[in-house]
Structure 1
């Protein structure tokens, strides 16, 4: 089966996601809260690579690691990576294969909307 024809629902959640449909709005709300509380900057490094610059607090890292671990368990096409450019900042890299660029696009839009209050 080719992954070139990926379909998504109205929230941009692809069919490849195994999170039960009833739980998806809750997960999206968690991401929205995370984006509002923790994201300090958004860098789209390529079509398949997003970097979120986060508040460097320990509780932010704990929240980000928990959320990304749960997301990886149902949407295995995501690759998440963390780095600390300095002691006061934290970066979260989000990568997707080419077939899921539309999902990363939707994630960027949610992050931007959450940060601007739209």
Structure 2
């Protein structure tokens, strides 16, 4: 989260900002309970906005052609905010996004997830 060492950092963050703006226009609202309560409001927004999964998805969308499925594997459980955001991103980008978290495979397509929002 927040790593800026990649050579294409500016392009990735800019694209993610555009994606986030489009998601908000489509009524996406961040779930701020998904981050540590010790963080100040500005830090919380940064943590939510530029989390690893979102950066990976932005990079994947930038670097793959239309129709390519984005696949992510992580060793932790996906939080509610990322889950909600990826549903919106799947609609906006018209892409399938598959995330394997600690417990489940989440197959996002057209704003829905195969887990049926199971928590």
Q: Quick one: higher RCO (CA 8 Å, sep 6+), 1 or 2?
A: 1
Question: How does the TM-score come out when normalised to structure 1?
Answer: 0.30
Greater strand content: 1
